[in-house]
Amino acid sequence: MAFSHGTADAQKSMGVITMALLSFGAIQTFEVPTWVKLACAIAMGLGTAAGGWRIIKTIGSDFVKLQPVHGFCVETASAGVILGASSIGMPVSTTHVITSTILGVGLSKRMSAVNWKVAQRIVIAWVLTIPASALVAFITYQMFVPFFGK
């Protein structure tokens, strides 16, 4: 799962950083430097270590009670979906994939195994992410236009 996570999420970060380096003139071709790969891998590892436990608790305990065998199924299915999508160049959200597989494991037990209040909060967060991101991008753009022009 860690490898598949890197094939999905790290690629996005590396692409943005490499594009910034190319735009700034720090590199001449659009090839991801090794130090960018290492920096993204370290950042993802540290981010998961620092805040991942809260997500794991919410998703793995509060959303659906997972036993080790369920966790194995979730990790295997998620890794398969993410690697399959990555192999054809299709970006996917690892968070959405793993949350969906956890929901699938919970539903395979019974409907009542899923905490539907947590599921509702997750769906609301997913829906609000797009307009919230657009709003933050708009505000950021408006703040920087006076300094850099249009």
CA 103/CA 67 separation, integer angstroms: 14
CA 97/CA 87 separation, integer angstroms: 16
pLDDT at 132: 95
> What b-and-e string marks burial along 114-143, b requiring 16 or more CB atoms within 10 Å of the CB?
bbeeebeebeeeeeeeeeeeeeeeeeeeee
Domain contains 132: no
- Domain extent at residue 98: 2-114
Domain contains 140: no
The confidence band for 116, taking pLDDT boundaries of 50, 70 and 90, is very high
Whether pLDDT at 53 is above 90: no
Domain contains 76: yes
The more confident residue out of 130 and 1 is: 130
Whether pLDDT at 6 is above 90: no
Q: What is the DSSP letter of 67?
A: -
CA 55/CA 122 separation, integer angstroms: 11
Domain contains 145: no
Closest to 102 measured CA to CA, from 125, 119, 123, 124: 119
The more confident residue out of 90 and 35 is: 35
129 to each of 1, 54, 89, 133, 137, how far by Cα in Å? 24, 19, 23, 6, 12
Can you tell me the mean pLDDT for 124-148? Answer: 92
% the chain with pLDDT above 90? 41
Look up the pTM and report it. 0.71
Number of domain units in the chain: 1
Domain contains 125: no
- The model's pLDDT over 56-105, given as tens digits with 9 standing for 90+, comes to 777 777 888 888 898 899 989 999 999 999 889 888 888 889 899 999 99
